[in-house]
Amino acid sequence: MKRSLLIILIIQLSLNLSTQAKTVYDSIPSGKNFEKAAFSLWFPDNYKTIRGIILLVPGSNSDGRSLVKEASWQELAMKYNFALIGCYFTDKPHVDMNVEEYANAKDGSGQALLDCMAKFAVQTGFHELITIPVVLWGHSAGGEFNYEFVCWKPERVLAFVVNKGGFYYSALAPKPARNVPGIIFTGENDMESRKDILKGIFSINRRAGAIWTFAEEPGAGHEPGKTQKLAQNFFDNVIPLRLHNNNTDKNSKYIYQPLLPESGFAGDKKNKRINPVTNNQLTDFSISWLPTETFAHDWLEFISGN
């Protein structure tokens, strides 16, 4: 009986969320490195302004526009007066279709996203969509796009997630991108090439001082698995640290607060330990940088399989 009541309450909550919000759709014509670039924008009816965007990018050539309907993303967005954007990118036919060309954001697909955000700004009257920051979540090719986007436009990104992707166009990220907090996920049972590539990207950038986290999901392959929950916890810890101005006036200028490497926590995946960052751990590629003590414990439970 209690279980049935809980299910009814969840359904009612989902219906309430959907009926009190708007979803707007638009697209950009085919460009240099993509065939299709189509997007959905979700925001509650009672918003007077939008403070940021949670960008949701699915795997290879997949339609992620329906991801904005997920209750967990909506709940997180509303907590910070954010909107959601779901992405649908596809590649033009080319020789090796295993390598998603649209993932290389600087070659056109990234600008397509920004152009569509500008179109949404006109359609909705939320003109701040042209300039507000984004947090990036993606799986597989979506994570590849996220990584390349933060390398291209780090000034627009509060935090990002790279999730089990396989092909990347950038190795050492620019310094401003290394200063954007991020998570790189792998799956214990995923292809060795994917794991090696992602460990390499993490290591070279951590060696250069990137404030990034590495998290391998025990027992998981290439599927998203349990990574989404940890990613949401990560955003929930980072957004209030980075978006320092809580003023919801549409005309206010938001301050993107930098995070100091020495302010975080160090995660030792080998010994399953966390501690405040020490000077010799600032560029230690075997150590994950963790933004808060709360998230540090979440990370430890995740990599331990709990």
Domain 20-256 has CATH 3.40.50.1820: yes
d(CA 197, CA 36): 27
Q: How would you label 156-165 residue by residue, b for 16+ Cβ within 10 Å and e otherwise?
A: bbbbbbbbbb
Query: Which phi-psi region, left, alpha or beta, contains residue 84 (left: φ > 0; alpha: ψ -120 to 50)?
Result: beta
CA contacts within 13 A on the Cβ side of 301? 12
d(CA 306, CA 298): 10
77 φ, ψ (degrees, to nearest 5): -60, -45
Structure tokens at 192: 């060795």
Contact between residue 89 and residue 99 where contact means Cβ atoms under 8 Å apart: no
From the list 121, 99, 105, the residue with the least C-alpha distance to 57 is: 105
d(CA 61, CA 89): 6
pLDDT of residue 252: 47
Residues 6+ apart with CB under 8 A from 124: 22, 24, 41, 43
Residues 6+ apart with CB under 8 A from 81: 47, 49, 50, 51, 52, 248
Residues 6+ apart with CB under 8 A from 257: 241, 242, 243, 244
Residues 6+ apart with CB under 8 A from 90: 34, 35, 36, 61, 102
Query: Which phi-psi region, left, alpha or beta, contains residue 108 (left: φ > 0; alpha: ψ -120 to 50)?
Result: left
Burial class (CB in 10 A: 0-12, 13-18, 19+), 197: middle
20 φ, ψ (degrees, to nearest 5): -105, 20
pLDDT of residue 16: 52
Count of Cβ atoms closer than 10 Å to residue 251 Cβ: 8
Distance of CA 11 to the CA centre of its chain: 27
d(CA 210, CA 260): 11
Contact between residue 261 and residue 282 where contact means Cβ atoms under 8 Å apart: yes
Structure tokens at 42: 């979700």
d(CA 10, CA 21): 17
Compute, in degrees rounded to 10, the torsion defined by CA atoms 137, 150, 85, 40.
Answer: -120
pLDDT of residue 13: 54
Which pLDDT tens digits describe the chain residue by residue (306 residues)? 455 555 545 545 554 544 499 999 999 999 999 999 999 999 999 999 999 999 999 999 999 999 999 999 999 999 999 999 999 999 998 787 778 999 999 999 999 999 999 999 999 999 999 999 999 999 999 999 999 999 999 999 999 999 998 889 999 999 999 999 999 999 999 999 999 999 999 999 999 999 999 999 999 999 998 999 999 999 999 999 998 655 444 444 556 888 999 999 999 999 999 999 998 898 999 999 999 999 999 999 999 987
pLDDT of residue 249: 47
**Domain ranges across the chain:** 20-256
